[in-house]
Structure 1
């Protein structure tokens, strides 16, 4: 339909021409949620690695200071000036002391411990309080703080009839739940806690769900 100046345009449905193009047409995307992405053969992702900024910064600063001092002393010697007193004394001590000297052994032990500490920091993930969760998207990694997971378990346990107070201690592989019940039979309360907490742990979506340890006592008794 043509338009003239000053007139309103109208829209009319155009005829639809059907064409059999199923061979070259891509399939319609699925509307259901994608399955969880498996990081490994068992579908479990690795732990989060800490950046180790504080140890790395301290080591880098110490190396920078030590290298700068040595470069300054070497440049001073090249400029026909006397070397620093502490470097002359250090060279004399290293040249005169035998290897079985007590101070040499102490210095070697301290250097070995520092090196071992740096190696441990380099090969361990760290971030022990951050529990990795199962991945549902290839580009997204999620983690749950241990305190938040323990709070979830505590809230679910407090919903059980007869439970007066709950204390949850959660680590990477174990969840210790200590509940105090002021009425109902202890075995019944513990059975309900086992069922509810097992469901709560599964609902956290952790790659390695912690093992549950539940204990129920009466008020005023330790157990």
Structure 2
């Protein structure tokens, strides 16, 4: 008797799911920000960093606020941070990160010694702009908002008049009547014209002046890299350098574009020597900033109320030779 072998049950072949049915992976802006901050910490060990991130589809924009060591090459430090943050963020998130915008918030100098710069680097350094131009965001926003409100109200009223056959707005009718009844010589028209002219002059001045007066440009040796330092940072550097001079108490520093004024109080020591030491410390701190326009340093050292001029050291007196007693001369009359 022959038994037929059971026929195997066919196994269905799995059909791959369509791309739309596999799900999507969304990387939040918070995750990108944390990854960028971590990458910045890897590039700058021991330095705190703040980051902001914006994700649009498969593209991420990253902005960083970092503290760089000083003295060091500012351009190279920014470039290294940008490269590392972009590579790590792109690797860990899978998003397209074109670049990272780095904002140097502060510098952390170990001491006020200037980093050595070769003469060739100093000579071949590219031209740095004298001043940074401001974006003028607040004036532009105010002007744009006011113009948009006026033009929008006028356009809306015209649309309602011509499409919905509404009566013209009361403010537009009043404005037309007032303009038709007042000539160029009326005081109100003269005042309005003067204010408009002043507004125009103000906008022209903002357009042709660079602004950002609180920042000073720095000489850099890297191409297509512009660097600037905040004047508050220069003030802190000069104040700390002068404060390390022996005998100096309170220090006040005022930084302007062309001049730096240093007022120091002397607690003890020689006034002339302290003034020379304060001048040397302030000049060294300003030179270490490598400003394109090095301002003149003016130093004033004022003694404290408790200051006393240093006394001269006591010189030991030389003992005088013992006095030799002298015999008084007595004139004698000699008999002839």
TM-score, normalized by length of structure 1?
0.78
Asked whether the 8 Å contact 2:266–2:303 carries over to 1, the reply is yes
Aligned equivalent of 1:86: 171
- Structure 2 CA distance for aligned equivalents of residues 45 and 115 of structure 1: 27
Q: Which one is further off, 49-58 or 174-183?
A: 49-58
Aligned equivalent of 1:169: 254
Counterpart of 2:132 (choices 17, 41, 48) is 48
Counterpart of 2:293 (choices 198, 208, 213) is 208
Structure 1: unaligned runs, 5 residues or longer: 1-31
Aligned equivalent of 1:38: 126
- Structure 2 CA distance for aligned equivalents of residues 216 and 47 of structure 1: 32
- Secondary structure of the corresponding residue to residue 121 of structure 2: coil
Structure 1 residue 160, shift from structure 2 partner: 1.3
- Structure 2 CA distance for aligned equivalents of residues 35 and 45 of structure 1: 18
Counterpart of 1:74 (choices 136, 140, 158) is 158
Asked whether the 8 Å contact 1:45–1:134 carries over to 2, the reply is no
- Structure 2 CA distance for aligned equivalents of residues 45 and 114 of structure 1: 29
- Structure 2 CA distance for aligned equivalents of residues 144 and 205 of structure 1: 10
Aligned equivalent of 1:8: none
Asked whether the 8 Å contact 1:45–1:135 carries over to 2, the reply is no
- Structure 2 CA distance for aligned equivalents of residues 115 and 211 of structure 1: 36
- Structure 2 CA distance for aligned equivalents of residues 172 and 55 of structure 1: 24
Aligned equivalent of 1:25: none
Structure 1 residue 184, shift from structure 2 partner: 1.6
* Counterpart mapping for 1:1-223 below 5 A: 35-36=121-122, 37-39=125-127, 44-79=128-163, 80-220=165-305
Structure 1 residue 96, shift from structure 2 partner: 1.1
Structure 2: unaligned runs, 5 residues or longer: 1-116, 307-336
Asked whether the 8 Å contact 1:153–1:197 carries over to 2, the reply is yes
Structure 1 residue 155, shift from structure 2 partner: 1.0
Aligned residues: 186
Structure 1 residue 97, shift from structure 2 partner: 0.7
- Secondary structure of the corresponding residue to residue 203 of structure 2: helix
- Structure 1 CA distance for aligned equivalents of residues 159 and 280 of structure 2: 74
Larger RCO (CA under 8 A, 6+ residues apart): 1
Q: Which has the larger radius of gyration?
A: 2
Instruction: Give 1 or 2: higher strand fraction.
Output: 2
- Structure 1 CA distance for aligned equivalents of residues 281 and 221 of structure 2: 25
